[in-house]
Structure 1
Amino acid sequence: MKLTELETHAERLEHLREIVKPFRERAMKAEAEGRFPFENFEDLKKSGYPALAIPKSFAGTGISLVELLELQVEIAKADGATGLGIGWHMSVMKNIGENDPWPDGKFNKLAGEVIEDGILVNNAASEPASGSPSWGNLPLTTAKETESGWVLNGRKSFTTMAPILDYFIVSATIEGTEKVGNFLVSRKHEGVSVIHTWDSVAMHGTGSEDVVFENVKLESDDFLEYRPVGPKPSQGWLLHIPAAYYGVALAAREEALKFSTSYSPGDMEGTIADIPSVKERIGQIELRIMESGTFLFNTARKWDDGDADVRMAMREELGVAKLIVVNKAMEVVDLAMRIVGARSLSAKNPLQRCYRDVRAGLHNPPMDDITIQQLANKGIAEFR
């Protein structure tokens, strides 16, 4: 049974929990071997998961942002890297499908491939020299227009899921101009190559490798859109990022509870969960989980229920959701490791991977300092 064939959110959630059960063990094995966890992503593809976020207007399931985040949390709880990785594809499908900025029929064709074959798509935007597009720099990757289409040259970094992506949405400076365009590039094109550069100790399983485009010949209709000028609209789909780290926090919570309710040193009656200091830490974990989960899902619910004006005004809330969830997730992991003690640093213990993975959230957009600056500017402007 595919997830796309199930009618209710409850059914999809229950079925997904069964699908992700092997993910944690597989991910630990793949990381130990220094390879990408292909099996996890293949299982998600077979289940129809990549099509769930495609709007119904494009024959997809059209799940809400709230449901998407709840499903993403379940994946990330089993393996944070798989959750964060597939989250990028899901958010791209939801964002492009709902806003439909591409030429007529382009997204419809891509959506059909996702629905039929489970193909995976992600943006390729960051670069080794010019950095993240959030800095506003022109990409060093260039696209030259020809009589028959375009020729693409450049190198992208931090391209999540690069080992398994079918298509890259590539940002490039139009040669001879200061305009930036987005292009849809198949990995099957001659001149496209993935270079193994991803040596991160956090979220290693995202496979965020470099991708090189060397004289890649594109058709005219592979051009998708120009990068909009001016302030970016609010991007609710980016909540998939904090959802992944919320899942990591839940995994750490589970490890702490499993250990504390089963471990009885010496001739102790009961378990260490009955010790006041341990119980205090468990309570602090529960508090942080409740705080971050409530803010995350209330923000997503507001996005789902809001019109265009409401969504446009949510920029600060979306940034705050990411800041709160990631920072509280780090606190949860730390508390869990204090409960488990030195065993949490064992290579066999899931907590040491939670510890490494959760730190990566600080470097996903939007950055904490940018969010704080936005809040300051908003407060000052309102007071004045």
Structure 2
Amino acid sequence: MDRADAAPAETRVGETLTPETLLPDELLETFRARAGGYDRENRFFDEDFADLVRIGYPLMLVPREFGGLGFTLRQAAAAQRRLAAAAPATALGINMHHVLVGVGHTLRLRGDERARGIFEQAAAGEIFAFGISEAGNDAVLFDAATTAEATADGYRVTGTKIFTSLSPVWTRLIVHARDDADPRAPLVFGFVARDEEGIEILDDWDTLGMRASQSRSTVLRSVRLPADQVLTRTPAGPNPDPVVWGVFGCFELLLAAVYTGIADRAVQLAAELAGARRSRAKGASYAQDPDIRWQIAEAALLRDGVELQLDRLTADVDALGSAGAPDHGPRWFLLFSGVKHRATETARQVVDIAMRTSGGAQYSRGGELERLYRDVLAGIYHPSDSESVHAAVAKALLGPLEP
């Protein structure tokens, strides 16, 4: 698998970019025009990916001194929100690369030298993917069914990872695996290269929504994990390891950004469609109907609450290592999972309202709102799910369940 071009033609060195200038409206319209075809054909967003590489989008969170765009996490979330409003599956797919570069961002803010290796690989054109999810592993990041066997130069990793977004293009896959030789820190985290022997990517992605993400299963059969690509070893269960913290936080926040982008577009579509439809009985636009107006306003109010929380929490992460850094302590994990939960559930509510207010024509296959209705459902399956979020908050407030 070839690496992405490490020096895109439109990356302007020294120029201050924003989410709006990096993703101008004209480019977003191009992405939006392609999204229906990707969904219909159940294929990867090849053309979108080429355009994103061309503008330097995979380098968004890479610092300028490493050849990147130097975005903060707050700016990256805003960019992902813009992209998701045009092409949700494209945004969800590239999100997983940004999560791993985001880990480098949080490590750098802490003064952790492990950030350098992540940035250097991203700047060299490597595309990261997320090999954490496993069938039946509801502990997700905090335990693994995949096994790691220690060798003289690292580990051999065996297991199956599901929901591996960017399957057609990734070159580096972060995996976690269990090595019980050290019961105090059995979980190994690190990157495996796509060209290692023993990797099989299954053609098993045929889903209700988010089809262009092509989040296929990845089978690992004694795949080499070199010692210099190991990021950390940790205990099982929630822990404050900086790598685990970074993975968890960036995953939840950037995922929340994607689903907030879907909500943005649903509100916009609901308003446009209300203005375009006319009531035969009342002889007026549906935009003048008090019930329709109330529902669309409710959708916007729901979206606004998530927007503010997402903006604040990404800014809090960006403040790590500074004098003004907030001290959320053990609440960080609750805040991260809480904003993801709120963003995905709110997006579902907002899209549902948009469907209700936009007439029966939106029930037909092929429309943008119909596709958003399917895409947004994927949010209920991303960790942290609703059950685990509520259990964690209840434990923090009420203590653990009695045996």
TM range (shorter): 0.7 to 0.9
Is contact 1:4–1:49 with CA below 8 Å preserved after alignment?
Answer: no
Is contact 1:58–1:111 with CA below 8 Å preserved after alignment?
Answer: yes
- Identify the residue that residue 307 of structure 2 maps to in structure 1: 293
TM-score by structure 2 length?
0.83
Question: Of 272, 291, 301, which residue of structure 2 is paired with 1:277?
Answer: 291
Question: Of 73, 97, 104, which residue of structure 2 is paired with 1:96?
Answer: 104
Alignment of 1:176-255 (within 5 A): 176=181, 178=183, 179-228=186-235, 231-233=238-240, 235-237=248-250, 238-255=252-269
- Identify the residue that residue 363 of structure 1 maps to in structure 2: 381
Q: Secondary structure at the match of 2:168?
A: coil
Residue 309 of structure 1 deviates from its aligned partner by 3.1
Q: Distance in 2 between matches of 1:220 and 1:379?
A: 41
Residue 243 of structure 1 deviates from its aligned partner by 0.9
Alignment of 1:139-158 (within 5 A): 139=145, 141-158=146-163
Q: Is 51-60 or 90-99 further displaced after alignment?
A: 51-60
Q: Distance in 2 between matches of 1:359 and 1:378?
A: 28
Residue 131 of structure 1 deviates from its aligned partner by 5.1
- Identify the residue that residue 325 of structure 1 maps to in structure 2: 343
Amino acid at match of 1:249: A
Q: Distance in 1 between matches of 2:308 and 2:326?
A: 23
Q: Is 267-276 or 151-160 further displaced after alignment?
A: 267-276
Q: Once superposed, which parts of structure 1, at least 4 consecutive aligned residues long, lie more than 6 Å away? A: none
Q: Distance in 1 between matches of 2:255 and 2:359?
A: 29
Alignment of 1:118-133 (within 5 A): 119-130=126-137, 133=140
Residues 2 and 341 of structure 1, relative CA distance in 2, 3 Å threshold: same
Is contact 2:187–2:236 with CA below 8 Å preserved after alignment?
Answer: no
Q: Secondary structure at the match of 1:365?
A: coil
- Identify the residue that residue 270 of structure 2 maps to in structure 1: 256
Residues 153 and 297 of structure 1, relative CA distance in 2, 3 Å threshold: same
Amino acid at match of 2:161: K
Residue 106 of structure 1 deviates from its aligned partner by 6.7
Q: Distance in 1 between matches of 2:169 and 2:108?
A: 25
Q: Secondary structure at the match of 1:25?
A: helix
Residue 307 of structure 1 deviates from its aligned partner by 2.5
Residue 70 of structure 1 deviates from its aligned partner by 0.6
Residue 87 in 1 paired to residue 87 in 2? Answer: no
Q: How many residues align structurally?
A: 375
Is contact 1:253–1:285 with CA below 8 Å preserved after alignment?
Answer: yes
Is contact 1:126–1:157 with CA below 8 Å preserved after alignment?
Answer: yes
Question: Of 77, 81, 86, which residue of structure 1 is paired with 2:85?
Answer: 77
- Identify the residue that residue 112 of structure 1 maps to in structure 2: 120
Amino acid at match of 1:361: G
Question: Of 26, 31, 35, which residue of structure 2 is paired with 1:27?
Answer: 35
Q: Secondary structure at the match of 2:169?
A: coil
Residue 26 of structure 1 deviates from its aligned partner by 1.5
Residue 138 in 1 paired to residue 152 in 2? Answer: no
Residue 110 of structure 1 deviates from its aligned partner by 4.4
Q: Secondary structure at the match of 1:310?
A: coil
Q: Is 340-349 or 316-325 further displaced after alignment?
A: 316-325
Q: Distance in 2 between matches of 1:219 and 1:152?
A: 10
CA RMSD, 1 decimal? 2.7
Q: Secondary structure at the match of 1:314?
A: helix
Q: Distance in 1 between matches of 2:114 and 2:269?
A: 45
Q: Distance in 1 between matches of 2:221 and 2:396?
A: 44
Q: Distance in 2 between matches of 1:61 and 1:152?
A: 34
Q: Distance in 2 between matches of 1:25 and 1:228?
A: 46
Q: Secondary structure at the match of 2:359?
A: helix
Q: Distance in 1 between matches of 2:277 and 2:254?
A: 35
Residue 108 of structure 1 deviates from its aligned partner by 3.1
- Identify the residue that residue 317 of structure 2 maps to in structure 1: 303
TM-score by structure 1 length?
0.87
Residue 111 of structure 1 deviates from its aligned partner by 2.3
- Identify the residue that residue 176 of structure 2 maps to in structure 1: 171
Residues 191 and 315 of structure 1, relative CA distance in 2, 3 Å threshold: closer
Unaligned 5+ runs, structure 1: none
Amino acid at match of 2:98: M
Q: Distance in 2 between matches of 1:283 and 1:223?
A: 49
Amino acid at match of 2:340: K
- Identify the residue that residue 16 of structure 1 maps to in structure 2: 23
Q: Distance in 2 between matches of 1:231 and 1:131?
A: 13
Q: Secondary structure at the match of 1:163?
A: coil
Is contact 1:65–1:301 with CA below 8 Å preserved after alignment?
Answer: yes
- Identify the residue that residue 162 of structure 1 maps to in structure 2: 167
Give % identity: 27
Is contact 1:236–1:300 with CA below 8 Å preserved after alignment?
Answer: no
Is contact 2:128–2:172 with CA below 8 Å preserved after alignment?
Answer: yes
Q: Distance in 1 between matches of 2:225 and 2:303?
A: 47
Question: Of 346, 355, 377, which residue of structure 2 is paired with 1:337?
Answer: 355
Residues 40 and 361 of structure 1, relative CA distance in 2, 3 Å threshold: same
Residue 9 of structure 1 deviates from its aligned partner by 4.7
Post-superposition Cα deviations, 1:300-319, rounded to whole Å, max 9, x if no partner, equal 22333352733653332222
Amino acid at match of 2:135: P
